[in-house]
Amino acid sequence: MKAIVIHDKKDLRIEERETAPPLPDEVQVHIATGGVCGSDLHYYNHGGFGTIKLREPMILGHEVSGHITALGANVKNLSEGDLVAVSPSRPCYDCKYCQEALHNHCLNMRFYGSAMPWPHIQGAFRESINVLGPQCVVANDLSSGEAAMAEPLAVTLHATRRVGDLLGKRVLVTGAGPIGALSIICARRAGALEIVATDLSSNALAQATFAGADKVFNVADDTDALGAYSADKGVFDVLYECSGAASALAMGIGALRPGGTIMQLGLGGDMNLPMMAITAKELSLKGSFRFHEEFSLAVALMSEGLVDVSGLITHTFALADAVQAFETANDRSVAMKTQISFA
């Protein structure tokens, strides 16, 4: 089978890998679709991020769906031919955080396509993969592209759960890439009254509008676009900071009202914080990292027609054109979510 392997920055290769029959608790999945995520792009563009560096060739990818082609002897509730969304969350279920049901903080997490541990955790951009039965969520009502959106949707569902009550709240989303757009969808679903989005790309802001934003502002054209929202100590109850840019965080904090909540989702390395404003406005600063049980909720919301992500998938490339897929995903002036078809 073929796999998409990163060797070094800008050195992406399609290589042959062995397949094995599934173990008794596993199923074999023929991957249908894989979504290119920001972390995949970091490995492609820079060979890693922060202190995390590639030290051996690694199969990329963690946003995948596919069809079950073989079942291990112990697996119930799944059938050959099922389309499944495959959760890349593989905690140990044994460490102290797993015991506390904080699976996303597992000390032995084996999240697909991650160079954090050594040896690296090989990813899921491959024609075939053996996964544990409980990693699979049946998604027969969805397209394989939608099913592959379960992972980023689960990220924003987890963040939305951590934000808390959104009924009737005013929400600002800074950074309207896929995570920003999905945050808009989740906040609306959770009852937000008004949602405003900012970005530097007019293409991203068009997608934010599709996702349900009531107003969008291009802060490349007008750095004071949120000025009116900053009067009288601010308007917004919640900021989803999805850009990872210190300037966006500072602008957003200026527009948050007293008692508001900052939900930091963007990963841009360490940033300076406007601590005086956080203190004086009594703001809450929250982080959010990955997800666990929200993965099956993501599939359920899409399957029930309560969340529609299909319009966010702007490009799909064949496996043979993987390099083109990564280059397109890099271009925010055209791409929102870029996917690779393994079918």
Q: Which is nearer to Zn ion, 15 or 94 (CB)?
A: 94
Task: Characterize the bridge pairing of strands 256-264 and 236-241.
Answer: parallel
Q: Quick one: which H or E segment has residue 256?
A: strand 256-264
By the rule CB under 5 A, 95 interacts with Zn ion: yes
Nearer to Zn ion, 95 or 250 (CB): 95
Q: Mind giving me the DSSP string for 114-137?
A: B-SSSS-B--S-BSEEEEEGGGEE
63-71/83-86 β-pairing:
antiparallel
Q: Could you say whether residue 91 binds Zn ion (CB under 5 A)? A: yes
Q: Starting at the edge strand that comes first in sequence, how are the strands of the sheet with 236-241 ordered?
A: 215-218, 194-199, 170-174, 236-241, 256-264, 284-287
Cα 29 from Cα 14, distance rounded (Å): 19
Contacts of 162 (CB under 8 A, 6+ apart): 263, 286, 288
- Binding segment for Zn ion (CB under 5 A), chosen from 94-102, 159-167, 191-199, 312-320, is 94-102
Position 265 contacts Zn ion (CB under 5 A): no
Which range in 105-113, 192-200, 217-225, 231-239 contacts Zn ion by CB under 5 A?
105-113
Binding of residue 131 to Zn ion (CB under 5 A): no
Nearer to Zn ion, 77 or 99 (CB): 99
Regarding 102 and contact with Zn ion (CB under 5 A), the answer is: no
Q: Closest CB to Zn ion among 104 and 303?
A: 104
Of 201, 203, 196, 242, the closest CA to residue 219 belongs to: 201
* List of residues 6+ apart from 208 with CB closer than 8 A: 173, 176, 180, 181, 184, 197, 199, 216
Contact between 98 and Zn ion by CB under 5 A: the answer reads yes
Quick check: 291 and 89 in contact, CB under 8 A? Answer: yes
Span 13-52, contacts to Zn ion by CB under 5 A: 37
Q: Which stretch binds Zn ion (CB under 5 A): 84-92, 231-239, 284-292, 328-336?
A: 84-92
Shortest Å, Cβ 131 to Zn ion: 17
Q: Min. distance of Cβ 154 from Zn ion in angstroms?
A: 9
Least Cβ distance, residue 147 to Zn ion (angstroms):
14
Q: x-or-dash pattern for Zn ion, window 50-79, by CB under 5 A?
A: -------------x----------------
Closer to Zn ion by CB, 22 or 34: give it.
34
Q: How far apart are CA 314 and CA 208, in angstroms?
A: 13
Q: What letters, b where the CB count within 10 A reaches 16 and e where it falls short, cover 45-56?
A: eebbbeebebee
Q: Which is nearer to Zn ion, 22 or 88 (CB)?
A: 88
Nearer to Zn ion by C-beta: 91 or 254? 91
Between 95 and 193, CB nearer to Zn ion:
95
Distance of CA 110 to the CA centre of its chain: 17
Tell me the closest approach of the beta carbon of residue 254 to Zn ion, in angstroms: 30
CB of 338 to Zn ion, least distance (A): 12
For residue 92, what are the CA distances in angstroms to 97, 135, 174? 10, 13, 34
Among 15, 50, 79, 92, binds Zn ion (CB under 5 A): 92
Size of the site for Zn ion (CB under 5 A): 7
Q: How far is the CB of 92 from Zn ion (least distance, A)?
A: 4
| Burial grade of 248 (CB within 10 A; 0-12, 13-18, 19 or more) | buried
Q: What is the contact surface with Zn ion in residues (CB under 5 A)? A: 37, 63, 91-92, 95, 98, 106
